[in-house]
Amino acid sequence: MILAIETSCDETSVAVVRDGAILSNVVSSQIALHAEYGGVVPELAAREHLKNFPSVARTALVEAGISAANLDAVAATQGPGLPTALLVGFKAAQAMAFALRKPFIGINHHEAHLYSPWIGDFAAFEPNVSLIVSGGHTILARVDSELNHHVLGSTLDDAAGECFDKTGKLIGLPYPAGPEIDKLAEQGDPKAFDFPRPLINDPGDDFSFSGLKTSVRYFLRDNPDLLSDPKKVRDLCAGIQTAIVDVLVTKTIRAARRTGMRCVTASGGVTCNRALRRELEKACKRNGFALRLADQKYCTDNAAMIGILAERKLSAGAAITRLDAEIEPGMAL
């Protein structure tokens, strides 16, 4: 029985897992708070975590039908993430483990995303090429076996989710802009406006989306009247989304072909995007690859994926984390 805590950014989440089953997964989002500022304000995020954590933790225990005394271990996100936000959950978890005299394990947030497509079905695990795509990171990894993986490539500048949010802000969409672009793009013409696909023809596995963001900025500078036409705004969203999705899908499929993997997985907040899910499915079918997408409720930041990975690691004999260990905001996958 593991209690897991996730506070790497702007979601306060606590989950209880046992034997691969998620008994509770409570998430308190701060989107409304940060929307006023057009992005996450780290100090505000940390204060909200401090305020929300006690009630979120109590609710998670109640929903799981247990008390803290029933726990066998405590886990928390150690990194990467916003330092002040990480501190809240990580130190709370260490304090709980100390008070309960139970093992504590720090978890890599990216690694939790990496294995989240297998939640509930680890028995079906197979080697894969995995795309982790979120607001802060875009990563391609090769996973040869469970808990045995290495990074093939990552973002050189802006991540895909950051590109969605920043181009959406240029258009005047509310934060977070990614879901808004997804919604508007469904009714737009993706061929109406053509934007660059950075590094799409580069044989490497790294990503870059800053050029696309700059292209949209200059396009809007030269076409200021476009934003007053709702149809053209929908077409613009479709064009931006298609450019981002093309890059993600093309590079993921190319990596799978090159490595000889027959399975592709995807996770992270941007994996909620409907166009990305559709195009990955089409591309995998064309190439004969199996596809596993993380369930949408485990795509955004959540403690369930932290707890499940902690359980897999402890079952595999991984070392527990010292109670005086520190957060690692720049923690690598």
State pLDDT tens for residues 130-159.
999 998 899 999 999 999 999 999 999 999
pLDDT per position as a tens digit, 116-130? 999 999 999 999 999
Beta bridge partners of residue 267, listed in sequence order: 132
The pair of three-digit structure tokens given for residue 145, joined into one six-digit string: 């076996």
Quote the CA–CA distance of 235 and 232 in Å, as a whole number. 5
The pLDDT of 174-189, averaged and rounded, is 96
Separation between Cα atoms, residue 23 and residue 61, nearest integer Å:
9
Residue 75 bridge partners (DSSP)? 4, 105
Measured CA angle at 75 (ends 70, 77), to 5 deg: 155
Question: Shortest CA distance to 265 belongs to which of 275, 274, 255, 35?
Answer: 255
Residue 190 pLDDT more than 90?
yes
Q: pLDDT band at residue 36, thresholds of 50, 70 and 90?
A: confident
Q: Are 116 and 325 in contact (CB under 8 A)?
A: no
Identify whether the C-beta of residue 163 lies closer than 8 Å to the C-beta of residue 212.
Answer: yes
* Contact present, 171 and 228 (Cβ < 8 Å): no
Distance CA 311, CA 19 (A): 8
- Residue given tokens 């593991």 in the structure block: 2
For residue 302, give the H/E element and its range.
none
Region of residue 147 (phi > 0: left; psi between -120 and 50: alpha; otherwise: beta):
left
| Beta carbons within 8 Å of 291's beta carbon, 6+ residues apart | 263, 264, 265, 266, 280, 281, 284
Question: 127, 133, 182, 134: which is closest to 150 by C-alpha?
Answer: 127
Residue 33 one-letter amino acid: L
Cα–chain-centroid distance for residue 10? 12
Query: If residue 298 lies in a helix (H) or strand (E), which one and from where to where?
Result: none
Closest Cα partner for 96 from 225, 5, 171? 5
Percent of the chain with pLDDT over 90: 97
* 163 token code pair: 């590109």
For residues 102 and 72, is the Cβ–Cβ distance under 8 A? Answer: yes
Predicted TM-score (pTM) of the model is 0.96
Kindly report, residue by residue over 217-250, the tens digit of the pLDDT.
999 999 999 999 999 999 999 999 999 999 999 9
Calculate the CA 285 to chain-centre distance. Answer: 24
Domains of the chain: 2-114+298-315 (3.30.420.40), 126-293 (3.30.420.40)
- pLDDT at position 87 over 90: yes
- From CA 196, how far away is CA 1, in angstroms rounded? 49
Strands 104-108 and 290-293: unpaired
β-sheet bridge partners, residue 144: none
Classify residue 39 as exposed, middle or buried by CB count within 10 Å of its CB (0-12, 13-18, 19+).
middle
